[in-house]
């Protein structure tokens, strides 16, 4: 093909494209001229047969033709309406709103754990972590719970051999923290715990606790009043203004004295409603002053240190904070439920 022939072919091809009647015709011309087996790529492949001196000019002319065809194809496609640059018709309404992909929300348990960590951080507590598989010493013995102690009944479960179990509480992280550090210690330990519980609306064999521990030297003795003020601050920050805290005497092997901790009902403000079963109070935690025996087990001198510990259920807080009537909803991962709390 000479340069003159090439010019003529170009003019013809552009005229042909301009005359295309619909998008299908435009597409057919795209294939004919610039498709993989089209006539222009064929010319490029045949360049080696063009005499060497003519090759640069010829090459330039072929490229220009190719570009002119591509431009005309997309112009013609647009003229025919609703067609894209390749000439293919888009079978879609471009004015329709796009598809929205939800961003997702944090799980209520994650939110309670993160919020608790932030509240206690303001009081100087850091977050400590421990394994879910514990040994007997950390989960029981050092927490002043010898084998065959009656309080083992409710928790003596999920053993792997003689000395390894799924922890029944986050309290073993107290032991780990004290064995690895000297007072003053101020930590909270959020984590998963396991019990031999039959699942129902308020029980689950697998749940979460947040343990708290404060131990200081005898220059700064720690009292039950300190514990109460910290939990009252937590209650107010977590549940809102006006929530107060009450202590009821209780027993835990690792604290003395021990208390159960109630928050005044945040819904009825203590007057009595369905949420608090008319009592005005909601039980949320166990707590007390660290038993001297526990200090001995971790190698502290009970005459030199004092401290308090508390442990509350994350599910419990989430259920009362968000008004969730059934603990199982927290584990079913039903997006319709989770999205309501986002
Ligand atoms: N570990 C106790 C429980 O699971 C709660 C607790 C923690 C009580 C710390 C006192 C001090 O019931």
Mean pLDDT, rounded, for 277-303: 95
pLDDT score for 84: 53
**Most confident stretch, 68-82, 104-118, 146-160:** 104-118
CB 236 within 8 A of CB 125: no
The pLDDT, as a whole number, for residue 166 is: 93
Nearest CA to 224 among 209, 246, 239, 253?
Answer: 246
Q: Is the pLDDT of residue 103 over 60?
A: yes
Range in 149-158, 181-190, 205-214, 292-301 with the lowest mean pLDDT: 149-158
pLDDT of the residue at 190: 97
- Going by pLDDT thresholds of 50, 70 and 90, the confidence category of residue 316 is very high
DSSP for 72-126?
HHHHHHHHHSSB-TTSPBP-S-TTSPPPPPP-----HHHHHHHHHHHHHHTTT-E
Q: Report CA(258)–ligand 1 centroid distance (Å).
A: 9
Model pLDDT, residue 153: 67
Per residue in 178-201, pLDDT tens?
999 999 999 999 999 998 888 888
294 CB less than 6 Å from ligand 1? no
310 lines ligand 1 (CB under 6 A): yes
pLDDT digits (tens, 9 = 90+) for 10-26: 999 999 999 999 888 99
**Which atom from ligand 1 is nearest to the alpha carbon of 170?**
1
Q: Is 171 in the pocket of ligand 1 (CB under 6 A)?
A: yes
- Is this structure's pTM higher than 0.85? no
Closest among 107, 127, 129 to 119, alpha carbons compared: 127
Predicted confidence at residue 79, as pLDDT, reads: 84
What's the CA-to-centroid distance between 99 and ligand 1, angstroms?
48
Rounded Cα distance, 211 and 98, in Å: 46
Ligand 1 neighbour 174 (Cβ under 6 A) = no
Residue 129 confidence (pLDDT) = 95
In the structure, what pLDDT confidence band is assigned to residue 73 with cuts at 50, 70 and 90? very high
- Asked whether residue 320 carries a pLDDT value surpassing 80, the answer given is yes
- Please give the number of the atom of ligand 1 that sits closest to the Cα of 155: 4
The whole-number pLDDT of residue 156 equals 65
305: phi then psi, degrees, rounded to nearest 5: -135, 160
**Ligand 1 contact, 77 CB (< 6 A):** no
Q: What is the mean pLDDT of residues 302-327?
A: 94
Cβ–ligand 1 distance for 234 under 6 Å, the answer no
Please enumerate in sequence order all residues whose Cβ is within 8 A of that of 319, keeping only pairs 6 or more positions apart, or say none.
325, 327, 330
169 in ligand 1 pocket by Cβ < 6 Å?
A: yes
Average pLDDT, the chain: 90
Q: How confident is the model at residue 154 (pLDDT cuts 50, 70, 90)?
A: low
pLDDT surpasses 90 at 307: yes
Q: Report yes or no: 168 and 152 within 8 Å, Cβ to Cβ.
A: no
Instruction: Pick the more confident residue, 332 or 102.
Output: 332
Where does residue 190 fall: left (phi above 0), alpha (psi -120 to 50 degrees), or beta otherwise? Answer: beta
Is residue 284's pLDDT more than 60? yes
Average pLDDT over residues 296-313: 97
User: What does 196-250 look like in DSSP terms, one character per residue?
Assistant: ----BTTB-SEEEEEEEEEEEETTS---HHHHHHHHHHHHHHHH-TT--EEEEEE
Q: What percent of the chain has pLDDT over 70?
A: 95
Range 162-171 average pLDDT = 92
Give the residue, by CA position, lying nearest to ligand 1 atom 7. 311
Mean pLDDT of 166-189: 96
What pLDDT was estimated at residue 88? 59
Best mutation site among 155, 252, 288 for ligand 1 pocket (most ligand atoms within 8 Å of CB): 252
* Structure confidence by residue, pLDDT tens digits, 223-255: 999 999 999 999 999 999 889 999 999 999 999
């Amino acid at each position: 093909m000479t340069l003159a022939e090439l010019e003529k072919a170009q003019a013809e091809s552009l005229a042909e494209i301009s005359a295309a009647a619909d998008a299908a015709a435009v597409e057919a011309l795209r294939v004919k001229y610039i498709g993989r087996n089209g006539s222009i790529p064929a010319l490029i492949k045949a360049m080696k047969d063009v005499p060497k001196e003519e090759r640069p000019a010829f090459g330039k002319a072929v490229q220009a033709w190719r570009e002119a065809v591509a431009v005309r194809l997309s112009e013609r496609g647009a003229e025919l309406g609703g067609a894209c640059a390749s000439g293919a018709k888009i079978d879609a309404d471009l004015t329709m709103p796009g598809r929205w992909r939800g961003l997702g929300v944090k799980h209520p348990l994650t939110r309670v754990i993160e919020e608790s960590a932030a509240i206690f951080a303001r009081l100087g507590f850091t977050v400590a972590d421990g394994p879910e598989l514990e040994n007997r010493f950390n989960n029981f013995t050092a927490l002043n719970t010898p084998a065959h102690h009656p309080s083992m009944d409710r928790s003596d479960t999920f053993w792997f051999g003689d000395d390894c179990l799924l922890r029944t509480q986050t309290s073993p992280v107290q032991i780990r923290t004290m064995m690895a550090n000297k007072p003053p210690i101020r930590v909270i330990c959020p984590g998963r715990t396991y019990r031999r519980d039959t699942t129902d609306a308020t029980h689950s064999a697998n749940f979460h606790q947040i343990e708290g521990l404060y131990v200081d030297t005898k220059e700064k003795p720690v009292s039950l009043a300190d514990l109460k003020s910290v939990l009252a601050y937590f209650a107010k920050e977590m549940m809102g203004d006006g929530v107060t805290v009450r202590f009821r005497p209780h027993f835990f092997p690792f604290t003395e004295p021990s208390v159960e901790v109630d928050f005044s009902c945040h819904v009825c403000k203590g007057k009595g409603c369905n949420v608090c079963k008319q009592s005005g109070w909601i039980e949320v935690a166990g707590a007390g002053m660290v038993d001297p025996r526990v200090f001995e087990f971790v190698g502290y001198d009970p005459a030199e240190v004092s401290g308090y510990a508390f442990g509350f259920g994350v599910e419990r807080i989430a259920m009362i904070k968000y008004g969730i009537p059934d603990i199982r909803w927290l584990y079913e991962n039903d997006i319709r439920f989770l999205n309501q709390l986002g």
